[in-house]
Amino acid sequence: MPANAPEIDLRSDTMTRPTPEMRRAMAEAEVGDDVFEEDPTVRALEERTAELLGKEAALYTPSAHMANQIAAYLAARSGEEIWAHELAHILGNEQGGTSVLSRLLPRTFSGPESAPEQGWLDKLIQGTDDVHRAQPALISLENTFTGRVMPLEGQRRVAAFAREHGLKVHLDGSRLWNAATALGVSLAEAAEGADTVTVCFSKGLGAPVGAALAADRDTVRRARRARKLLGGGMRQAGIIAAGALYALDHHLERLADDHARAQRLAEALSAAPGLSAEALTNMVIAKTEPGQAPKLVEAAGAQGVACIAIAPDTVRMVVHLDIAESDIGEAGARITKAAESLKA
């Protein structure tokens, strides 16, 4: 473990380290120059990802951030609208990339779900033939959304609306693995209706780096050029792609364990003073008294547990590959002790 690392790190499922078996697969990977499309391990990963998601093709990217921005860049022209939740990762956590790189106008909605309500869609589509109005082009959905699973009926409803009005649908499925697991459906079913889909191999699956954008073959062909434009062309990338391939073969089935452990942690924390907690797939969202979340994070850190305050009264914890069953009880006890210290 690196120096100064917390004993139990619940900040994100990106904190995982490659397993010994994954490291071995990476060390032994067959490689080539991926910019010339000559890396066999990258090609194998892209083909496997496309097959799992029910799409024609996929492109390996350094990050889900880049995959999301490529999707927006390809779906809309400068000055057109992107519709998304006000807290969507593609808008709020990627340095305004849709505005900076693609020069799109965000139109946002609020609420607990990633899919907008039908009334919002029907209202926003009105007046799009007005010469003063920017033209809508893309609806971006997210699953999971801060750990919350988007029901497939909402995704299908939005996709049908988009087709009716000539819009594209992007699905930020960085944790689509978790959504499909929670829904009990295949990844292809979870991706149904989206023109482009992002998945992340370092979230949930424990690979050290990388994501993919899946779509039809022509979109992926154009995405390859966009990736190069953004500086994402990689050479012997099979070394890292092998980690993602290993994760697809060995770490998908175990995601249900993370969900169950998150549920047990939430139950333990709900008994702590001043806390209520809810498990959302592999995340635990804990509510504190007003303004107490940063203090709880600091107190938990002193107890050797790392987590993140995502609002003045909200703490996020993420269960992942490196969190053992024994860590759950220990984390619950330590965070409870931290909560008690705030009451003293």
pLDDT at residue 1 in the model: 43
Measure the CA angle with vertex 82, ends 78 and 88; round to 5°.
130
Instruction: Name the β-bridge partners of 81.
Output: 105, 136
Identify residue 159 by its one-letter amino acid code. Answer: A
pLDDT at residue 2 in the model: 46
Q: How many helices (H) and strands (E) does the chain have?
A: 14, 13
pLDDT at residue 4 in the model: 58
Q: Which two tokens stand for residue 185?
A: 């459906």
320 phi-psi bin (left φ>0, alpha ψ -120 to 50, beta other): beta
Instruction: Name the β-bridge partners of 172.
Output: 142, 198
pLDDT at residue 28 in the model: 98
**E-assigned strands of 71-200?**
81-85, 105-109, 136-142, 168-172, 196-200
Nearest-CA neighbor of 280 among 129, 179, 210, 139?
179
At which residue do the structure tokens 């400068």 appear?
78
Domain ranges of the chain: 8-15+254-343, 31-250
Q: Output the CA–CA distances (angstroms, integers) from residue 119 to 44, 93, 109, in the order listed.
A: 43, 27, 11
Please list the pLDDT of the chain residue by residue as tens digits (344 residues): 445 556 999 999 999 999 999 999 999 999 999 999 999 999 999 999 999 999 999 999 999 999 999 999 999 999 999 999 999 999 999 999 999 999 999 999 999 989 999 999 999 999 888 999 999 999 999 999 999 999 999 999 999 999 999 999 999 999 999 999 999 999 999 999 999 999 999 999 999 999 999 999 999 999 999 999 999 999 999 999 999 999 999 999 999 999 999 999 999 999 999 999 999 999 999 999 999 999 999 999 999 999 999 999 999 999 999 999 999 999 999 999 999 998 87
- Return all residues near 48 (Cβ < 8 A) that are at least 6 apart: 245, 248
Q: What is the pTM of this model?
A: 0.95
> What is the b/e burial string over 99-111, where b = at least 16 CB atoms within 10 angstroms of the residue's CB?
eebbebbbbebee
- Return all residues near 203 (Cβ < 8 A) that are at least 6 apart: 12, 13, 14, 64, 174, 175, 177
Instruction: Write down the CATH number for the domain with range 31-250.
Output: 3.40.640.10
Nearest-CA neighbor of 83 among 50, 128, 146, 53?
128
pLDDT at residue 129 in the model: 87
- Homologous superfamily (CATH) for 8-15+254-343: Aspartate Aminotransferase, domain 1 (3.90.1150.10)
237 phi-psi bin (left φ>0, alpha ψ -120 to 50, beta other): alpha
